[in-house]
């Protein structure tokens, strides 16, 4: 199978999960890659996005592109203005967030260029926000982890409870509730993504990100107000750290079992009491078992190699 992979340059992302999937795909298929450098996230969503103040040039030669079995784009919005009318190769698009006007625009444009296969990372989110898509063309391809940098580094568990990411009440309600409950406790650590107002702040990338999670006994995730099975649900247990998270139905189909391989958050939970319980020395063996179960779930069902094989099977079916 010959695949043309279209993407943005994501080298500065905190945890670049698209590139490892492509690398895994290269082990079992013939893959050619085009990466478009972009100045900002907003530019990647905009049909008229620019690079160095100029409109981005077309980069696809239809004669060459049509030699491939599939074109897969993990950044389809950055290639919308190509000569798609002259391209007959099968086209697949992949995306995460399913909400918002920019994603709506991308979905409409993807349909206009004759997309053959839609591969959302969030199954229920896509059903909710893109219910109009022909379901015979939609295949769920959930998140994955790259064990080369998301794994057990064997670090000492020097951090009892870790939160990573911005504390934003409107988008991440559980993240905010946790912060409000435990902020100031000596066993709590928070690492927030830097902004232009936080000069000198350090945001770990790649292996540094994996090592940070690996130093924690428990780390939390939040499915957000949109109820997505976000990447943190996978990254935290992959680094042999216990996951604390709210529960959505999609998680069951991904193998998450409350109280077995992650710590569930219920609406009436006392967060401080819950964390104090699990961080006590008496409950250390049980927490270790739960942590190991989450770690095994990632290795058994959600690695890049596993997801690449699933992707090839999906492409074969279509």
Q: What is the SS3 assignment for the chain?
A: CEEEEEEECCCCCCCCCHHHHHHHHHCCCEEEEEEECCCCHHHHHCCCCEECCEECCCCCCHHHHCCCCEEEECCHHHHCCCCHHHCCCEEEEEECCCCCHHHHHHHHHHHHCCCCEEEECCHHHHHHHCCCCCHHHECCCCCCECCCCCCCCCCCCCEEEEEECCCCCCCCHHHHHHHHHHCCCCCEEEECCCCCCCCCCCCCCCHHHHHHHHCEEEEECCCCCCCCCCCHHHHHHHCCCEEEEECCHHHHHCCCCECCCEEEECCCCCHHHHHHHHHCHHHHHHHHHHHHHHHHHHHHHCEHHHHHHHHHHHHHHC
* Domain ranges (residues) in the chain: 2-143+304-317, 159-301
- Calculate mean pLDDT across residues 173-188: 96
**Least confident interval from 11-15, 38-42, 126-130, 298-302:** 38-42
Question: What's the mean per-residue pLDDT of the chain?
Answer: 89
CATH architecture of the domain covering 2-143+304-317? 3-Layer(aba) Sandwich (3.40)
pLDDT in tens, 182-216: 999 999 999 876 544 445 556 787 888 999 999 99
159-301 CATH, one of 1.10.10.10, 1.10.1050.10, 3.30.300.30, 3.40.50.2000: 3.40.50.2000
Res 225 pLDDT > 50? yes
- Calculate mean pLDDT across residues 216-234: 97
Res 44 pLDDT > 50? no
Res 103 pLDDT > 90? no
Q: What is the model's pTM?
A: 0.91
């Amino acid at each position: 199978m010959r695949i043309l992979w279209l993407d943005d340059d994501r080298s500065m992302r905190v945890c670049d999960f698209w590139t490892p999937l492509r690398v895994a795909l290269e082990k079992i298929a013939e893959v050619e890659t085009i990466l478009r450098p972009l100045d900002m996230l907003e530019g990647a969503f905009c049909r008229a996005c620019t690079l160095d103040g100029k409109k981005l040039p077309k980069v696809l030669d239809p004669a060459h592109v049509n030699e491939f079995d599939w074109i897969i784009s993990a950044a389809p919005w950055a290639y919308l203005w190509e000569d798609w009318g002259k391209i007959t190769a099968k086209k697949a698009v992949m995306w995460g967030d399913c909400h918002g006007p920019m994603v709506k625009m991308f979905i409409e444009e993807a349909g206009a260029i004759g997309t053959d296969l839609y591969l959302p990372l969030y199954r229920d989110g896509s059903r909710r926000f893109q219910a109009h898509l022909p379901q015979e063309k939609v295949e769920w391809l959930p998140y994955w982890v790259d064990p080369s940098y998301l794994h057990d580094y064997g670090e000492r568990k020097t951090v009892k409870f870790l939160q990573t990411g911005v504390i934003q009440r409107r988008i991440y309600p559980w993240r905010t509730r946790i912060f409000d409950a435990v902020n100031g406790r000596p066993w709590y650590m928070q690492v927030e993504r830097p902004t232009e107002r936080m000069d000198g702040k350090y945001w770990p990338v790649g292996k540094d990100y994996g090592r940070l999670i690996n130093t924690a006994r428990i780390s939390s995730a939040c499915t957000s107000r949109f109820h997505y099975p976000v990447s943190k649900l996978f990254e935290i247990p992959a680094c042999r750290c216990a996951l604390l998270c709210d529960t959505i139905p999609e998680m069951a189909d991904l193998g998450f079992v409350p109280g077995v391989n992650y710590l569930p958050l219920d609406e009436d939970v006392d967060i401080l009491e819950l964390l104090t319980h699990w961080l006590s020395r008496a409950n250390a063996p049980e927490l270790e078992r739960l942590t190991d179960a989450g770690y095994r779930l990632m290795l058994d069902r959600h690695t890049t190699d596993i997801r690449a094989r699933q992707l090839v099977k999906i492409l074969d079916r279509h």
